[in-house]
């Protein structure tokens, strides 16, 4: 047996496992020719439905091109092809849907899978299985059943869609049905799923029930309220009569399949699978080893190609004000979709210039989060404005429309939500509030995202920084951030005028662009037309930034693998609350901030930090609320008590080490030490 993987190496007993990018035809064909398979099960696919909706090219490459390459690579082979397709090829009209129904996918995911099905069905003997599966994941992504279970374990209320129906099957049952189908030599198109259907709400409650949790934490929700980027079919239940008749056996019911999922959970199938995981190729840290083998809370990842990019600029003509700045801005624009990007020399400078572009002055107020680095509020104070602090949601650490609403007055000029630890605030909700308040007061209120934590995160499937709901977003490229330029930042916007204003202010307010050729006395000439700053970033830094941007998807993926491991191995321990993530707001995990009940643990935060230091683990506190800082207390009369949720968060929070260059061994070490602390107290 040969297992081919793309990003996540796996080890399967008795199987060779090799990495291959299936969009690379030559590489794929070489694997197939070397191995000469009898059966090929094609389950490679992208399933990030919302991200794919806005990434036509990426979706096509991952779902259709891979299939075409595979079919081409198999042209001279007699191997049986089994293609794993999806229930998303059906429209979502009332089901159950059978194979005779004309597919009418509602989103790009379904459309690309349908296109791939059509290719696969051209191959004689190919079996196309339309399904929807869940199971115990090795890493990274949670299946829907695991997601409901995790919420129960962490005692979080979650919503299950009452109006979304499906026939999802446990992957172990899918395996058995496919094995039976192969034994019978089935080919053509079949629904391979459970024989009945249920809503996602009932599914969530069934999971809770099976694992002995109270079902009241699974609340009824509606797909319509979820603001997904991609449309979702409501009824995706599948009719499996054709399969059952062909096999002469019944498919399991959803209850039976879930019971098997639970039984495998009790038997620790996941632990056994994880134990079989190949060790990740260790990140290359030789060049910049952490001092004394310490495990810090965050740090950069620099490869030889980053150094080569910097080296090339250092030997070239431009150290600053050259072409590498625009190239870095273009890379940020390409990644986020923001039309205008202005790179500057820090995240703080970005926030300051964004406030200036919004013409913020002493007559104004700015509403932001207390749970942030002081720069979020300082930027407003630089302009003479008064900061106001909205309290946070105690679970996400983000400010919400409900907390912002009472603070908005006719003096409010800017609202600056901070995407704490990388997870986006609910921007649609905040946008709606601002629209309503602008209409009420007849004022202009700018929505400015402090996205300094959130490059690489998504909101409703779109990259944070796309500014779909905001006027501007600011990024930071400090070394603990996802992408570093040493120091650095950027303002992103879809608004050409705001972009031009920030660009002007970045460099003293000096311009030539406003002059016609006739107004130019000579090539030396420029004018200062506004009071700006020298907030320029160098070409050296931008060369590093562009090189780092190419690695951003890998950085995010690696952090998410580590988070998955933290979540799995710290779940259910006493006195600790783990971070949560909503599927509409995928986090880049800039930080992994847990909360300890220090009182119940019988150790204060300092003792915990010092104990971990003994094991070379260095944690950090995010954040001392801005309202607590002496400067803000003295100048604006803030203090503890202003934002009780932020105060409570501060009392409990501690950020554990998390960075892409963190090795598996370091992660295991941190987990073991934290577990030791928590279980010693029982």
Ligand X SMILES: Cc1ncc(COP(=O)(O)O)c(C=O)c1O
Q: How many angstroms separate the Cα of 463 from the Cα of each of 332, 348, 351, 473?
A: 11, 21, 19, 11
Burial annotation 141-180 (CB, 10 A radius, 16+ → b, else e): ebbbbbbbbbbbebeeebbbbebbbbbbbbbbbbeebbeb
Output the smallest distance, CB 489 to ligand X, in A: 5
Output the smallest distance, CB 546 to ligand X, in A: 18
Strands 127-131 and 188-191: parallel
Please give the Cα distance from 542 to 313 (Å, whole number): 9
- CB within 8 Å of 254: residues ≥ 6 apart: 167, 168, 169, 194, 196, 197, 198, 203, 206
CB nearer to ligand X: give 375 or 608: 375
CB nearer to ligand X: give 331 or 353: 353
Output the smallest distance, CB 397 to ligand X, in A: 11
Output the smallest distance, CB 52 to ligand X, in A: 29
Q: Which long-range contacts does 433-441 make (Cβ < 8 Å, 24+ apart)?
A: 433/401, 433/404, 433/405, 433/408, 434/408, 437/405, 437/408, 437/412, 441/408, 441/409, 441/410
In the structure encoding, which two tokens stand for residue 318, read together? 């431009």
* 348: three-class secondary structure by DSSP: helix
Judge whether 79 and 31 are in contact, CB under 8 Å. Answer: no
| Residue 218, phi then psi, degrees to nearest 5 | -100, 105
CB nearer to ligand X: give 197 or 397: 397
CB nearer to ligand X: give 229 or 346: 346
How crowded is residue 394: how many other Cβ atoms within 10 Å of its Cβ? 14
CB nearer to ligand X: give 83 or 420: 420
Output the smallest distance, CB 480 to ligand X, in A: 7
Output the smallest distance, CB 11 to ligand X, in A: 38
* 141: three-class secondary structure by DSSP: coil
CB nearer to ligand X: give 136 or 650: 650
Output the smallest distance, CB 382 to ligand X, in A: 12
CB nearer to ligand X: give 476 or 587: 476
Strand ranges (DSSP E) for 470-552?
472-476, 489-493, 510-511, 527-528
Output the smallest distance, CB 476 to ligand X, in A: 3
Q: How many angstroms separate the Cα of 363 from the Cα of each of 15, 360, 502, 579, 584?
A: 69, 8, 21, 38, 37
| Residue 97, phi then psi, degrees to nearest 5 | -95, 135
Please give the Cα distance from 45 to 63 (Å, whole number): 5
Judge whether 674 and 595 are in contact, CB under 8 Å. Answer: no
CB nearer to ligand X: give 372 or 548: 372
CB nearer to ligand X: give 374 or 651: 374
CB nearer to ligand X: give 340 or 478: 478
Judge whether 595 and 652 are in contact, CB under 8 Å. Answer: yes
CB nearer to ligand X: give 375 or 677: 375
In the structure encoding, which two tokens stand for residue 116, read together? 């791939």
CB nearer to ligand X: give 189 or 454: 454
Output the smallest distance, CB 190 to ligand X, in A: 51
CA angle 632, 593, 618 (to 5 degrees): 90
CB nearer to ligand X: give 456 or 489: 489
Q: Which residue has the tokens 């934590």?
A: 453
CB nearer to ligand X: give 136 or 477: 477
Burial annotation 474-512 (CB, 10 A radius, 16+ → b, else e): bbbbbbbbbbbbbbbbbbbbbbeebbbbbbbbbbbbebe
Which spans in 276-361 are helix H?
304-314, 323-336, 347-357
Positions in the binding site for ligand X (CB under 6 A): 346-348, 372-373, 375-376, 418, 450, 452-453, 476, 478, 489
Output the smallest distance, CB 537 to ligand X, in A: 11
Output the smallest distance, CB 662 to ligand X, in A: 19
Output the smallest distance, CB 598 to ligand X, in A: 24
Output the smallest distance, CB 622 to ligand X, in A: 8
Please give the Cα distance from 579 to 18 (Å, whole number): 33
Output the smallest distance, CB 123 to ligand X, in A: 52
Please give the Cα distance from 479 to 301 (Å, whole number): 8
Q: How many angstroms separate the Cα of 218 from the Cα of each of 567, 581, 661?
A: 20, 16, 37
CB nearer to ligand X: give 247 or 418: 418
Closest-CA residue to 489 (of 344, 342, 332): 344
Output the smallest distance, CB 420 to ligand X, in A: 8
Which residue sits closest to ligand X, CB atoms considered?
347
Output the smallest distance, CB 368 to ligand X, in A: 10
CB nearer to ligand X: give 348 or 593: 348
Judge whether 490 and 474 are in contact, CB under 8 Å. Answer: yes
Q: Which residue has the tokens 């930090």?
A: 609
- CB within 8 Å of 373: residues ≥ 6 apart: 452, 623
In the structure encoding, which two tokens stand for residue 442, read together? 């007849």
CB nearer to ligand X: give 417 or 461: 417
Output the smallest distance, CB 494 to ligand X, in A: 21
Judge whether 617 and 632 are in contact, CB under 8 Å. Answer: no
Judge whether 527 and 514 are in contact, CB under 8 Å. Answer: yes
């Amino acid at each position: 047996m040969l297992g081919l993987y793309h990003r996540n190496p796996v080890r399967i007993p008795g199987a060779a496992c090799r990495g291959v990018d299936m969009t690379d035809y030559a590489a794929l064909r070489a694997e197939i020719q070397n191995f000469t398979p009898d059966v090929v099960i094609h389950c490679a696919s992208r399933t990030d439905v919302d991200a794919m909706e806005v990434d036509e090219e990426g979706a096509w490459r991952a779902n259709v091109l891979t299939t075409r390459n595979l079919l081409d690579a198999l042209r001279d082979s007699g191997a049986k092809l089994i293609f794993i397709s999806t229930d998303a090829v059906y429209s979502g009209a009332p089901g159950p849907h059978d194979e005779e129904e004309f597919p009418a996918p509602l989103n790009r995911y379904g459309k690309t899978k349908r296109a791939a099905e059509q290719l696969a069905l051209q191959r004689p003997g190919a079996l196309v299985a339309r399904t929807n599966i869940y199971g115990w994941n090795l890493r990274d992504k949670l299946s829907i059943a695991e997601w409901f279970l995790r919420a129960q374990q962490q005692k979080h209320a979650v919503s299950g869609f009452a109006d979304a129906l499906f026939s999802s099957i446990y992957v172990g049952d899918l395996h058995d049905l496919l094995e039976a189908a192969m034994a019978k030599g089935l080919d053509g198109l079949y629904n391979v799923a459970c024989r009945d259907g249920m809503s996602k709400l009932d599914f969530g409650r069934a999971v809770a029930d099976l694992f002995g949790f109270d079902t009241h934490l699974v609340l009824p929700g509606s797909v319509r309220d979820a603001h997904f980027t991609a449309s979702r079919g409501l009824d995706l239940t599948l009719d499996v009569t054709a399969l059952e008749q062909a096999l002469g056996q019944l498919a399991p019911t959803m209850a039976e399949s879930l019971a098997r999922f639970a039984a495998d959970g009790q038997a620790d199938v996941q632990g056994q699978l994880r134990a079989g995981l190949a060790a990740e190729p260790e990140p290359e840290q030789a060049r910049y080893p952490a001092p004394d083998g310490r495990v810090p809370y965050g740090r950069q990842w620099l490869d030889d190609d980053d150094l080569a990019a910097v080296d090339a600029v250092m030997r070239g003509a431009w150290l600053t004000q050259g072409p590498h700045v625009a190239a870095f801005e273009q890379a940020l624009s390409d990644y986020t979709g923001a039309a205008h990007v202005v790179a500057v020399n820090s995240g703080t400078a970005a926030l300051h210039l964004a406030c200036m572009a919004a013409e913020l002055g002493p007559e104004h107020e700015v509403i932001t989060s207390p749970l942030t680095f002081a720069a979020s509020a300082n930027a407003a104070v630089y302009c003479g404005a008064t900061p106001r602090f909205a309290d946070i949601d105690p679970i996400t650490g983000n400010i919400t429309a409900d907390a912002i609403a009472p603070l908005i007055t006719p003096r409010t000029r800017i609202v600056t939500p901070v995407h704490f630890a990388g997870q986006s605030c609910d921007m649609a909700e905040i946008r709606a509030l601002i629209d309503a308040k602008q209409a009420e007061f007849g004022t202009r209120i700018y929505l400015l995202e402090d996205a300094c934590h959130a490059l690489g995160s998504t909101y409703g499937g779109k990259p944070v920084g796309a500014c779909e709901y905001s006027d501007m977003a600011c990024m930071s490229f400090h070394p603990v951030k996802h992408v570093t330029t040493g120091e650095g930042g950027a303002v992103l916007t879809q608004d050409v005028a705001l972009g031009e204003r920030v660009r002007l202010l970045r460099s003293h307010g000096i311009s030539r662009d406003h002059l016609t050729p006739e107004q130019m006395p000579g090539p030396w000439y420029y004018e200062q037309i506004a009071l700006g700053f020298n907030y320029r970033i160098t070409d050296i830094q931008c060369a590093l930034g562009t090189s780092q941007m190419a690695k951003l998807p890998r950085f995010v993926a690696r952090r998410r693998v580590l988070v998955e491991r933290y979540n799995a191995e710290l779940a259910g321990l006493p006195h600790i609350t783990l971070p949560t993530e909503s599927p509409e707001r995928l986090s880049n995990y800039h930080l992994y901030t847990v909360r300890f009940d220090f009182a119940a643990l019988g150790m204060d935060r300092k003792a915990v930090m010092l104990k971990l230091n003994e094991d070379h683990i260095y944690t950090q506190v995010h954040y001392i609320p801005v309202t607590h800082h002496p400067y803000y207390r003295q100048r604006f009369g803030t203090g503890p008590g202003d934002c009780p949720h932020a105060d409570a968060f501060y009392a409990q929070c501690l950020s554990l080490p998390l960075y892409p260059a963190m090795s598996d061994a370091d992660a295991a070490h941190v987990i073991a030490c934290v577990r030791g602390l928590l279980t010693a107290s029982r």
